[in-house]
Amino acid sequence: MPGWNCLVTGAGGFVGQRIIKMLVQEKELQEVRALDKVFRRKASKDLFFVFTELQTKAKVTLLEGDILDAQYLRRACQGISVVIHTAAVIDVLGVVPKQTILDVNLKGTQNLLEACVQASVTAFIFCSSVDVAGPNSYKTIVLNGHEEERHENTWPDPYPYSKKMAEKAVLAANGSILKNGGTLHTCALRPMYIYGERSPFISNIIIMALKNKGILSATSKFSIANPVYVDNVAWAHILAARGLQDPKKSPNIQGQFYYVSDDTPHQSYDDFYYTLSKEWGFHLDSSWSLPLPMLYWLAFLLETVSFLLSPVYRYRPLFNRHLVTLANSTFTFTYKKAQRDLGYEPLISWEEAKQKTSEWIGTLVWQHRETLDTKSQ
């Protein structure tokens, strides 16, 4: 891999930033291009400092661009050896318009694949999602699932559908002939639910709990999940980038997808959030809650009301059947295939990941208290 260059899309995001920080430690890397539309926002000026102050011999170039701009993508890919594609719209509540999700997640991926062909990029790693595999029903148990079982999400919701179709496009593009006569090699990684410092989802949960006297809403007590720490997800992408460029490993990786988990204990999402935050005085809501089947059919009723009102009013339910299923299923996967083909082993242990995430949650608590003190003055 002498003198290779890498483009990372979604570089300003939760996973993208971690990938950049690990990439620049690669000895033979000459340049990493960090592409994200978010760089245009004034609130993200700190990202410039995060990337420009990295201790690295590699050149770090920040690109403010849109994944839907095909011509821009083609220019961004010129001279690039590897593309790591993490840019996506994540939405399971129906907040973002359906067409926006399809455009970014599916069309954006197709645009990037075409740009790689035109710019003769030889390796493409797609950050997919476990949501591509399901769960389709909270009644179905998947414990330590693996790639050979061929699970596939059947929900019509735009997020899982767009990620599923984007992954299919990426894997189908493996073996495409490049403009210079070379060959494009692709693979996809399916991380479990990703946690860690600066997780936007955990941040929202903690802020909501702070507004509710430290009570964590118990909405996922029927689940068994195996969340994965963000640095371990980033590490898997680095190994995939190495592997697709390695003549010995590449044939086994090309056109393949891999589940990415780590040694975080299997537990319900409710217990998981409590474990991370209990040091700061948070506790689970102990009040009575609806039985799961009733919650599911209530979600169906709310979706029906939303559909009936749609011609005259946009009503967005607080939850839907997909979210209820996602948050209350037994749905875990092993990383053995990634271990075998990519040489993947989690970089960060559960104890270290738990400590780092908990300490970050502590900063959210202190920020909240400072905000309240300022308002009271």
Q: How many CB atoms lie within 10 A of CB 356?
A: 16
Task: Report the catalytic residues.
Answer: 163
Q: Could you give the 3-state DSSP secondary structure of residue 374?
A: helix
Question: Please, what is the Cα angle at 155 between 153 and 160, to 5 degrees?
Answer: 65
Strands 123-127 and 142-145: unpaired
Considering only the C-alpha atoms of the chain, give the largest distance between any 2 of them, rounded to a whole number of Å.
68
Q: Could you give the 3-state DSSP secondary structure of residue 148?
A: helix
Beta bridge partners of 82: 6, 123
Q: Could you give the 3-state DSSP secondary structure of residue 313?
A: coil
Distance of CA 37 to the CA centre of its chain: 17
On the 0-12 / 13-18 / 19+ scale of CB atoms within 10 A, 86 is buried
Closest C-alpha to 95, from 39, 158, 154:
158
Closest C-alpha to 280, from 363, 197, 201, 200:
363
89: left (phi over 0), alpha (psi -120 to 50) or beta: beta
DSSP 330: B
Beta bridge partners of 224: 330
Q: Which two tokens stand for residue 178?
A: 């490049």
Closest C-alpha to 121, from 154, 163, 73, 89:
73
Q: Compute the distance between CA of residue 185 and CA of residue 182 in angstroms, rounded to an integer.
A: 10
Q: Compute the distance between CA of residue 74 and CA of residue 116 in angstroms, rounded to an integer.
A: 7
